[in-house]
Amino acid sequence: MKKKNLIFLVALMIGVAFAFNTSLVLAKDMTAKDFEKESLKHITTISVSDAKALLDKGGITFLDVRTKKEYKSGHVPGAINLSRGLIEFKIGKEIADKNASVIVYCKTGGRSSLATYTLVRMGYKNVKSMDGGWKAWAKAGYPVE
Protein backbone atom coordinates (compact mmCIF):
# COMPACT_ATOMS: atom_id res chain seq x y z
CA MET A 1 0.00 0.00 0.00
CA LYS A 2 2.79 2.41 0.90
CA LYS A 3 4.63 1.61 -2.32
CA LYS A 4 1.52 2.47 -4.40
CA ASN A 5 1.18 5.80 -2.59
CA LEU A 6 4.84 6.60 -3.20
CA ILE A 7 4.56 5.75 -6.90
CA PHE A 8 1.41 7.88 -7.18
CA LEU A 9 3.10 10.80 -5.42
CA VAL A 10 6.17 10.62 -7.67
CA ALA A 11 4.00 10.42 -10.81
CA LEU A 12 1.97 13.39 -9.60
CA MET A 13 5.11 15.44 -8.95
CA ILE A 14 6.49 14.63 -12.40
CA GLY A 15 3.17 15.61 -14.00
CA VAL A 16 3.09 18.94 -12.14
CA ALA A 17 6.72 19.66 -13.03
CA PHE A 18 6.04 18.88 -16.68
CA ALA A 19 2.94 21.09 -16.76
CA PHE A 20 4.82 23.94 -15.09
CA ASN A 21 7.75 23.71 -17.52
CA THR A 22 5.40 23.51 -20.52
CA SER A 23 3.58 26.68 -19.45
CA LEU A 24 6.89 28.48 -19.01
CA VAL A 25 8.02 27.52 -22.49
CA LEU A 26 4.74 28.66 -24.04
CA ALA A 27 4.82 31.99 -22.22
CA LYS A 28 8.40 32.60 -23.29
CA ASP A 29 7.38 32.62 -26.95
CA MET A 30 4.44 35.03 -26.55
CA THR A 31 4.36 38.57 -27.92
CA ALA A 32 2.60 41.55 -26.33
CA LYS A 33 -0.31 41.02 -28.74
CA ASP A 34 -0.47 37.37 -27.67
CA PHE A 35 -0.74 38.44 -24.02
CA GLU A 36 -3.47 40.90 -24.95
CA LYS A 37 -5.45 38.22 -26.83
CA GLU A 38 -5.02 35.82 -23.93
CA SER A 39 -6.26 38.42 -21.43
CA LEU A 40 -9.41 39.03 -23.50
CA LYS A 41 -10.43 35.41 -22.89
CA HIS A 42 -10.67 36.12 -19.15
CA ILE A 43 -12.19 39.60 -18.92
CA THR A 44 -15.34 41.50 -19.80
CA THR A 45 -15.20 44.43 -22.19
CA ILE A 46 -17.65 47.31 -22.44
CA SER A 47 -18.40 49.62 -25.36
CA VAL A 48 -17.71 53.33 -25.01
CA SER A 49 -21.42 54.08 -25.36
CA ASP A 50 -22.27 51.72 -22.49
CA ALA A 51 -19.39 53.19 -20.44
CA LYS A 52 -20.76 56.70 -21.08
CA ALA A 53 -24.22 55.60 -19.94
CA LEU A 54 -22.71 54.28 -16.70
CA LEU A 55 -20.80 57.55 -16.21
CA ASP A 56 -24.08 59.46 -16.57
CA LYS A 57 -25.82 57.09 -14.16
CA GLY A 58 -23.06 57.39 -11.53
CA GLY A 59 -21.64 54.88 -9.08
CA ILE A 60 -18.85 53.76 -11.39
CA THR A 61 -15.12 54.32 -11.12
CA PHE A 62 -13.06 54.93 -14.24
CA LEU A 63 -9.45 53.81 -14.03
CA ASP A 64 -7.06 55.33 -16.57
CA VAL A 65 -3.97 53.12 -16.91
CA ARG A 66 -2.09 55.41 -19.30
CA THR A 67 0.98 57.37 -18.27
CA LYS A 68 0.63 60.57 -16.22
CA LYS A 69 1.50 62.60 -19.32
CA GLU A 70 -1.26 60.92 -21.34
CA TYR A 71 -3.72 61.39 -18.48
CA LYS A 72 -2.91 65.09 -18.17
CA SER A 73 -3.58 65.58 -21.89
CA GLY A 74 -7.22 64.58 -21.30
CA HIS A 75 -9.20 61.89 -19.50
CA VAL A 76 -12.71 60.68 -18.64
CA PRO A 77 -14.20 63.05 -16.05
CA GLY A 78 -13.34 61.91 -12.53
CA ALA A 79 -11.05 59.08 -13.68
CA ILE A 80 -8.33 57.82 -11.35
CA ASN A 81 -4.88 57.52 -12.96
CA LEU A 82 -2.64 54.55 -12.17
CA SER A 83 -0.24 53.68 -14.93
CA ARG A 84 -0.37 50.02 -15.89
CA GLY A 85 3.03 49.27 -14.41
CA LEU A 86 1.89 50.27 -10.91
CA ILE A 87 -1.54 48.61 -10.76
CA GLU A 88 -0.56 45.70 -8.52
CA PHE A 89 1.19 47.98 -6.04
CA LYS A 90 -1.26 50.89 -5.79
CA ILE A 91 -4.75 49.64 -6.61
CA GLY A 92 -5.55 48.71 -3.01
CA LYS A 93 -5.07 52.31 -1.89
CA GLU A 94 -7.14 53.78 -4.73
CA ILE A 95 -9.90 51.16 -4.95
CA ALA A 96 -9.96 49.05 -1.81
CA ASP A 97 -13.43 47.56 -2.40
CA LYS A 98 -13.01 44.52 -4.62
CA ASN A 99 -16.74 44.64 -5.39
CA ALA A 100 -16.57 48.20 -6.75
CA SER A 101 -17.73 48.74 -10.34
CA VAL A 102 -14.65 49.76 -12.33
CA ILE A 103 -14.10 50.55 -15.99
CA VAL A 104 -10.46 50.42 -17.05
CA TYR A 105 -9.18 52.22 -20.12
CA CYS A 106 -5.96 53.17 -21.89
CA LYS A 107 -5.28 54.70 -25.30
CA THR A 108 -6.74 51.94 -27.49
CA GLY A 109 -7.52 48.94 -25.25
CA GLY A 110 -4.33 46.88 -25.06
CA ARG A 111 -2.97 48.04 -21.71
CA SER A 112 -6.45 48.18 -20.24
CA SER A 113 -7.18 44.57 -21.16
CA LEU A 114 -3.96 43.48 -19.45
CA ALA A 115 -4.67 45.68 -16.40
CA THR A 116 -8.25 44.40 -16.20
CA TYR A 117 -7.01 40.82 -16.28
CA THR A 118 -4.58 41.65 -13.48
CA LEU A 119 -7.40 43.10 -11.40
CA VAL A 120 -9.58 40.05 -12.04
CA ARG A 121 -6.72 37.83 -10.88
CA MET A 122 -6.36 40.02 -7.79
CA GLY A 123 -10.00 39.35 -6.89
CA TYR A 124 -11.83 42.38 -8.29
CA LYS A 125 -15.32 41.20 -9.23
CA ASN A 126 -16.89 44.02 -11.28
CA VAL A 127 -14.13 45.27 -13.53
CA LYS A 128 -14.41 45.79 -17.28
CA SER A 129 -12.09 47.02 -20.01
CA MET A 130 -13.40 49.84 -22.21
CA ASP A 131 -13.26 48.68 -25.81
CA GLY A 132 -11.39 51.14 -28.02
CA GLY A 133 -10.02 53.08 -25.04
CA TRP A 134 -9.46 56.80 -24.85
CA LYS A 135 -9.33 57.18 -28.64
CA ALA A 136 -12.85 55.77 -29.02
CA TRP A 137 -14.13 57.92 -26.12
CA ALA A 138 -12.71 61.12 -27.63
CA LYS A 139 -13.85 60.18 -31.16
CA ALA A 140 -17.40 59.76 -29.84
CA GLY A 141 -17.25 63.35 -28.56
CA TYR A 142 -17.88 62.38 -24.94
CA PRO A 143 -16.88 64.77 -22.13
CA VAL A 144 -13.24 65.10 -21.12
CA GLU A 145 -11.28 66.74 -18.34
Per annotation, catalytic residue among 43, 76, 104, 106: 106
User: Is 106 noted as a catalytic residue in this protein?
Assistant: yes
- Which residues in 55-67 are b (16+ Cβ under 10 Å) and which e? beeeebbbbbbbb
Cβ neighbours for 6, distance < 8 A, ≥ 6 positions apart: none
Please name the residues in contact with 122: beta carbons below 8 A apart, sequence gap of 6 or more: 88, 91, 98
Alpha-carbon distance of 70 to 134, in angstroms, equals 10
- Just list the catalytic residues: 106
